């Protein structure tokens, strides 16, 4: 509320909190409506929240209660918006470390005109424009931080995704999400089958997401201990999106699992050759944290190239100074160096 209240009004739909959230929000100036959504769907809930907002309001800034918009956003928004704008794409820190440093960052676009928009899909819902000539502007000047409750259950996601695909079997995005959800549930064969369906959809043209489907198929084959098929799918993923670190890092992790140290070095270096970090929701934190240097250090240690092993463990520690395992690895490397010399 401290940052949201830069808006003219704050409207909230409470769909079933059991603590004193409603009274707290009202005391802080929010207009709160309570409504139970049965059967539960995210799109229905969001569309109900839109109904609370009177028609005379021009622009909606959609925030969940686990999101915080950075101060000063109102003034920036007013500068950016013009008479043709219908929606704004802005900076979203989906995952932050303990110091509020972004780990996973991408653009979202939940600032929109009050009119001509509705939410669609039971889960992983999206804004749909119901008029012609949607105009989306992009800015890095407005940022929302995400502070999720990691104890919160995701149990509704799988049945809602299955429903979403049933309602719209040609929607490539939700087919991808369903396959990913099967992976989370360790339903390896369902994951493989669903993501192959995703790749065969005519609308599945976004290379980043196609690459992710191929990577998730590979992960499923790894868990089925079918490593040759996993390598085949990771090769496809690298070819699909050679500008992304993620498939190269996934291949490095697989080679690490198989103790193929030369291959670990090869694929980590291929990943590190990629310097551009694309801003999409398909971001793997292990591609941009200390992991490439960590794997290189372990690989060179097993190749008995201790100088290089020390070099890379130090680079890993530069990125994660308090990592206990990395510190212990460094001690082992130093002892091996001393013995070798």
pLDDT at position 281 over 90: no
pLDDT tens digits along 287-327: 999 999 999 999 999 999 999 999 999 999 999 999 999 99
* Whether 96 contacts 145, CB under 8 Å: yes
Check residue 88 and give its pLDDT: 97
Check residue 29 and give its pLDDT: 95
Percentage of the chain beyond pLDDT 90 is: 91
Alpha-carbon gap, residue 231 to 227, rounded angstroms: 6
pLDDT tens digits along 155-165: 889 999 999 99
pLDDT at position 151 over 90: no
pLDDT at position 139 over 90: yes
Termini Cα distance of the chain: 62
Please name the fold of domain 4-146: Spore Coat Polysaccharide Biosynthesis Protein SpsA; Chain A (3.90.550)
Percentage of the chain beyond pLDDT 70 is: 100
Second-level CATH architecture of 157-267: Alpha Horseshoe (1.25)
pLDDT at position 279 over 90: no
Check residue 54 and give its pLDDT: 95
**Residue 334 phi/psi, 5° resolution?**
-65, -40
Model confidence band, residue 226 (pLDDT cutoffs 50, 70, 90): very high
pLDDT at position 186 over 90: yes
Check residue 239 and give its pLDDT: 98
The structure's pTM equals: 0.90
Nearest CA-CA partner of 59 in 44, 37, 76: 76
Q: How confident is the prediction for the chain on average, in pLDDT?
A: 95
Span 93-100, mean pLDDT?
89
Check residue 114 and give its pLDDT: 95
Check residue 319 and give its pLDDT: 94
CB atoms within 10 A of CB 53: 13
Check residue 155 and give its pLDDT: 84
Check residue 298 and give its pLDDT: 98
Indicate the domain borders of the chain.
Answer: 4-146, 157-267, 289-341
Check residue 97 and give its pLDDT: 86
Alpha-carbon gap, residue 216 to 89, rounded angstroms: 27
Check residue 27 and give its pLDDT: 96
Span 236-249, mean pLDDT?
98
Check residue 177 and give its pLDDT: 97
pLDDT at position 49 over 90: yes
| Cβ partners under 8 Å of residue 189, min gap 6 | 220, 224
Span 102-114, mean pLDDT?
94
Check residue 103 and give its pLDDT: 87
Burial 284-319 (b: 16+ CB within 10 A, else e): bebbbebbbbbbbbbbbbeeeebebbbebbebbbee
């Amino acid at each position: 509320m401290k940052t949201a209240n830069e808006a003219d009004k704050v409207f909230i739909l409470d769909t079933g909190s059991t603590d004193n959230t409603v009274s707290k929000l009202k005391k802080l100036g929010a207009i709160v409506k309570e409504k139970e959504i049965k059967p539960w769907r995210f799109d229905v809930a969001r569309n109900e929240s839109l109904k609370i907002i009177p028609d005379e309001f021009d622009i909606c800034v959609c925030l969940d209660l686990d999101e915080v918009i950075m101060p000063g956003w109102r003034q920036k928004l007013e500068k950016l918006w013009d008479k043709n704008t219908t929606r704004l794409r802005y900076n979203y820190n989906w995952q932050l470390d303990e110091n509020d440093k972004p780990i996973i960052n991408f653009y979202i676009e939940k600032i929109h005109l009050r009119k001509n928009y509705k939410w669609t899909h039971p889960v992983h819902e999206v804004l749909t424009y119901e008029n012609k000539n949607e105009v989306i502007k992009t800015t890095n000047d407005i940022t929302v931080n995400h502070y999720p409750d990691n104890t919160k259950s995701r149990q509704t996601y799988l049945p809602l995704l299955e429903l979403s695909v049933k309602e719209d079997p040609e929607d490539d995005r939700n087919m991808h999400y369903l396959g990913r959800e099967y992976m989370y549930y360790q339903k390896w064969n369902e994951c493989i089958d669903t993501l192959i369906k995703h790749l065969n959809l005519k609308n599945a043209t976004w290379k980043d997401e196609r690459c992710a489907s191929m990577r998730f198929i590979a992960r499923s084959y790894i868990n089925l201990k079918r490593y040759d098929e996993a390598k085949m799918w990771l090769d496809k993923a690298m070819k699909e999106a050679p500008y992304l670190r993620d498939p190269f890092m996934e291949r490095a992790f697989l080679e690490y699992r198989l103790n193929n140290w030369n291959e670990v070095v090869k694929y980590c270096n291929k990943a590190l050759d990629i310097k551009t970090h694309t801003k999409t929701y398909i971001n793997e934190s292990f591609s941009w944290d200390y992991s490439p240097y960590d794997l290189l250090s372990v690989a060179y240690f097993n190749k008995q190239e201790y100088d290089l092993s020390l070099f890379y463990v130090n680079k890993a520690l530069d990125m994660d100074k308090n990592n206990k395992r990395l510190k212990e690895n460094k001690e082992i490397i130093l002892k091996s160096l001393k013995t070798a010399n």
